[in-house]
Amino acid sequence: MRTFRLAPDNMTFGFMRLRRVSYPFSALMSIISVLMFLSWGLNFGIDFAGGTLMEVRAKSGQADLSALRGLGDRFALGEVEVQAFGGNADATLRIRLQPGGDAAQQAAVERVRETLGAAYEFRRVEVVGPRVSGELVQSGTLGVVLSIISVLIYLWFRYEWQLAIAAVIATMHDLLLTVGFFAVTRLEFNITSIAAILTIVGLSLNETVVVLDRIREMMKKYKKLPIPQMIDLSINAVLSRTIMTSTTTTLALLALVLFGGHVIQSFSLAMMWGVLVATYSSIFICSPILIYLGVRDATDKG
């Protein structure tokens, strides 16, 4: 019985011919990511920005979003961010930190509760003060930085310097485009977003290691084969596995996007983007770098 293959065993597609397109494209995407991050910044959630997040459901079956947005002017709370999610009856309200500390914040929450209590059911209320949010920012940033440093150390000792540099560049490329994704889409950046970034770094590393390991094997086997052809041969050899991994992961994440609810939406969408970027960079960013670095006759260190 023949097994199902997403890519033919004898596939010989010339991926390296596309490096003259993929590099300018990635450079453009990276520049856009940096500009959007510097100009727009990230849409920090309550976890990092501080404030109050309320998740409400209209008892009538239809949430009045315009009336909910008017609560800010009505009670002098500043801008109240309102978003619909799930069904027509569901909405989230985000109230920024109020001058006067925790007492003022709690008073604002109580005023909103008294006003909406007859028409809405409060399903979730989260209050995060400025001290807690600041600590979360520091902890989240430290976690990301330490994880990236650990990955870079692993790559440097795992591979020859040409392969290590290629892997580092591909990982940084994926991280940069993921931050740009949050800046452009305005998805809420919260604790689950930090988890998504850390997972994407690991996913990018996994895809890169698979491709580089096969390239290193092929360099020993075909020592006289030109580097571009040898890299194409290596990528085609693992293409079926790469497609299968990306497809199954994306399908699982799609289920989370559709049925996981608003709480993990930013995580699920960021992970779907991360799968796409990690697969793309392992083929079109990491591998072509070896041509420019002039990798030759690499030997296994591991």
> What would the pLDDT profile of 141-185 be if each residue is shown by its tens digit?
777 788 778 877 877 777 778 888 888 888 889 989 999 999 999
Task: Report the amino acid identity of residue 136.
Answer: L
Taking the C-alpha atoms of residue 290 and residue 42, their distance in angstroms, rounded to an integer, is 34
CA-based nearest residue to 179, from 279, 33, 278, 277: 33
Sign of CA dihedral 144, 148, 149, 150: positive
For residue 250, pLDDT over 70 is answered with yes
Is the pLDDT confidence value at 4 over 60? no
Instruction: Band the pLDDT of 297: cuts 50, 70, 90.
Output: very low
Q: Does the pLDDT value for residue 301 go beyond 50?
A: no
Mean pLDDT of 276-293: 89
Q: Six-digit token pair at 174?
A: 């994926």
Q: Which of 300, 123, 87, 100 is nearest to 213 (CA)?
A: 300
- How many other C-beta atoms lie within 10 A of the C-beta of residue 195? 17
Tokens (6 digits) for 83 = 């978003």
Among 5-19, 145-159, 262-276, the least confident range: 5-19
Helices (H), ranges, the chain: 19-39, 46-49, 65-69, 71-75, 101-116, 130-158, 161-185, 191-221, 227-259, 265-281, 287-293
Q: What 8-state DSSP symbol labels residue 285?
A: I
Q: Taking CA 116 as the corner, what is the angle to CA 127 and CA 70, rounded to the nearest 5 degrees?
A: 85
Domains parsed from the chain with CATH numbers: 15-44+133-293 (1.20.1640.10), 51-128 (3.30.70.3400)
What one-character DSSP code corresponds to residue 70? T
Q: Which two tokens stand for residue 242?
A: 């790469």
pLDDT recorded at residue 27: 92
pLDDT in tens, 203-247: 888 888 888 888 888 888 877 788 888 888 888 888 888 888 888
Environment class of 270 (CB within 10 Å of its CB; exposed 0-12, middle 13-18, buried 19+): buried
52 forms bridges with which residues in the sheet?
95, 127
Estimate to the nearest angstrom the gap between the alpha carbon of 42 and the chain centroid: 13
* % of the chain beyond a pLDDT of 70: 88
The more confidently predicted of residues 163 and 31 is 31
pLDDT digits (tens, 9 = 90+) for 59-104: 887 888 888 877 777 777 766 777 777 778 888 888 777 777 677 7
pTM, two decimals, is 0.75
How much is the pLDDT for 36? 92
Question: Mean pLDDT across the chain, nearest whole number?
Answer: 81
